[in-house]
Copies of this chain bind each other. A is one copy, B any other.
């Protein structure tokens, strides 16, 4: 069945049998099964990634469905990770889909990140974004980071290659919580995370299969109202970064104790109030 589904990709000049073979052996972890994670997980499953992990601790709500297209009205109340995994298995029964219902936390971050080859950040809050980046640096995993708000989207790959920055290199100081929550109030046009999440699947497929040029040191901005995409050239990794620099203070030992909620001044996904969950 695998060969039937993957037949079309095999004959692509840019995506030959070796690349497909690497993809089939790779594991990709999608953190968040919401607006970004739904399309990312579906396209990774469709592409035949060997092992797909889905992390989410929340339940499907009716108000999610305008952008979270792997869920259904009949899945309301179900764990999001289970609902997304069910959709992925229905699309491709030949891959392994792991469900992580406990969320991505300082306690399990290193174990989870180390168990996969490529990590996809499809979360919706600053605390989770710092935690995931730090875990990827320590576990030495490339991180496909996407975000969407209003009618804007952003996409990049962190912690890849000899000089790719991590999230902390870009944003060493956390934003004020009110600048986040203010934006959160604005909501999101549902198709915008759809575009960014599908592009996250593309970047993860490129990283897992070793083809193409991943968006390392490049930030792609999508301005959906004008239909304009802009590529920004980003800094290299910063020698003084406390996560990926020469003398890091965030280590395998210290990460589990690091106060991500305190650092960002906002609760991570664990305890985020409804109004923060875009």
Chain A, interface size: which category?
35 or more
Q: Which of B10, B92, B227, B231 contacts A65 (CB 8 A)?
A: B92
A72 and B47 contact, CB distance less than 8 A: no
Q: Nearest Cβ in chain B — how far from A238, in angstroms?
A: 23
A218 and B227 contact, CB distance less than 8 A: yes
Taking CB atoms, residues of chain B closer than 8 Å to A48 are 66
Taking CB atoms, residues of chain B closer than 8 Å to A215 are 227
Contact of A187 with B12 at beta-carbon distance under 8 Å, contacts A66-B5, A225-B213 already known:
yes
Taking CB atoms, residues of chain B closer than 8 Å to A218 are 227
Taking CB atoms, residues of chain B closer than 8 Å to A224 are 202, 212
Taking CB atoms, residues of chain B closer than 8 Å to A39 are 39, 69, 194, 198
Q: How far is the CA of A169 from the CA of B12 in the complex (A)?
A: 31
Q: How far is the CA of A275 from the CA of B257 in the complex (A)?
A: 57
| A220 lies within 8 A of chain B by Cβ | yes
| A32 lies within 8 A of chain B by Cβ | no
| CB-contacts of A54-96 with B (<8 A) | 62-63, 65-69, 71-74, 90-93
Q: Nearest Cβ in chain B — how far from A62, in angstroms?
A: 5
Q: Nearest Cβ in chain B — how far from A118, in angstroms?
A: 14
- Work out how many copies of this chain go into the complex: 2
A11 and B187 contact, CB distance less than 8 A: yes
Taking CB atoms, residues of chain B closer than 8 Å to A1 are 62
Q: Nearest Cβ in chain B — how far from A88, in angstroms?
A: 9
A8 and B151 contact, CB distance less than 8 A: no
Q: How far is the CA of A202 from the CA of B213 in the complex (A)?
A: 26
Q: How far is the CA of A188 from the CA of B14 in the complex (A)?
A: 10
Taking CB atoms, residues of chain B closer than 8 Å to A203 are 227
B186 and A12 contact, CB distance less than 8 A: yes
Contact of A91 with B62 at beta-carbon distance under 8 Å, contacts A12-B151, A205-B191, A227-B214 already known:
no
Q: Nearest Cβ in chain B — how far from A234, in angstroms?
A: 13
Contact of A46 with B186 at beta-carbon distance under 8 Å, contacts A73-B91, A150-B12 already known:
no
User: Quick one: closest B residue to A201, CB to CB?
Assistant: B191
Contact of A205 with B231 at beta-carbon distance under 8 Å, contacts A46-B67, A48-B66, A151-B212 already known:
no
| A43 lies within 8 A of chain B by Cβ | yes
Task: Provide a sorted-by-A list of 9 A–B residue pairs whose CB atoms are within 8 angstroms.
Answer: A6-B66, A12-B150, A12-B151, A65-B92, A73-B91, A73-B92, A189-B205, A199-B227, A212-B226
Nearest 4 A/B pairs, CB to CB: A229-B229, A212-B225, A8-B187, A72-B90
Q: Told that A39-B198, A65-B92, A229-B229 touch, could you supply 9 new A-B pairs with CB distance under 8 A?
A: A8-B66, A11-B185, A12-B150, A12-B151, A46-B65, A66-B92, A72-B90, A74-B90, A212-B224
